[in-house]
Amino acid sequence: MRNLKEFELPKSLSPSELETVERVITNVLLSKETARALYPNASEDEVQKNGSGVYFTMNEVLEQPSESRVILASNNLLIPLWNIAESDRVHGKHWPYGRGVFINNNYTLAVYVNVLDHIRVVTCASHSNIGNLGLIYSRLCRLMAILDRDLEFSFDERLGYLSCRPTMLGCGLRFTLTLKCPNLLKEPDNLLSLCSVRTLSYSRNSNCPDVFKVANRVSVGVTELQCFQDFSTAVANILQLEKDMSMTNSLHIAAMFLNIFKKRRSTYANNE
């Protein structure tokens, strides 16, 4: 999440201010520089021909039926839009005017404009590279390098980048990964403790008993790179533990790893 320094949050903007923010951001998103950043292996002719992507207004997203919403939903890029009767309580009285979403050409990245925050970037793995966190992170970094160069964002030395959601203060980066670990889920309390020690949030889908989701809980006081590295390491630990358990078919390994993480946490606390 990012917000432009010279403007209030979208909920408080006038129609003309919403238009200005939308125009400034989309000019960057639809530029050749953004196309080169999103498709580093594309030739100059391909960049010139295909551009960076397509921008849809929020009216186009919310209409019935909506081609853009189908694209977003089918590629895991759709976020809650809270298009309810009392939307002004969430978005301000001018919703959905001056809002929209940019979608790149291969449907792996979307940028929501003036939806709660001025900019919200959502990116995910392609269907051919499921779970490739490095690819996702590098794509995001290339885009943010262009946005940081051309736009000035609200930033506080202590809190980091400012957002309408306090949970997104700091680097404003949130990773979410769906994992299938049937062995670890035999002891859900241990798994929950393991995630907690590694500062991961943990949630389960009642319709898929072998599947759960993890996300990073810390974004304040860390850089984007550190956030990515910490999350990747934590997930790698969980996957290695699941692999070991599948090979030994024993739950004592889970307890062993859990004790290791608890000892680390205790050591950190004593050092403080």
pLDDT tens-place string over residues 9-66: 999 999 999 999 999 999 999 999 999 999 999 999 999 999 999 999 999 999 989 9
Residue 86 to residue 203: CA distance in whole angstroms? 29
Structure tokens of 35? 């196309």
Annotated binding site: 120, 174-178, 198-203
* 144, containing H or E segment: helix 133-150
Structure tokens of 156? 């506080």
Q: How many contiguous H segments (helices) and E segments (strands) does the chain have?
A: 10, 9
Nearest Cα to Cα of residue 218 among 206, 207, 209, 231: 231
Phi, psi (rounded to 5 degrees) for 225: -65, -45
Which domains does the chain carry?
Answer: 15-168 (3.30.590.10), 176-270 (no CATH)
- Whether the CB-CB separation of 105 and 50 falls below 8 Å is answered with yes
> pTM of this prediction?
0.86
Reported residue count of the chain is 272
Structure tokens of 113? 């404009």
Residue 219 to residue 209: CA distance in whole angstroms? 29
What share of the chain has pLDDT > 70, as a percent? 90
Nearest Cα to Cα of residue 151 among 239, 14, 243, 22: 22
Q: What residues pair up with 110 in beta bridges, in sequence order?
A: 103, 122
Annotated binding site for ATP: 120, 174-178, 198-203
pLDDT tens-place string over residues 76-128: 999 988 776 677 888 989 999 999 999 999 999 999 999 999 999 999 987 77
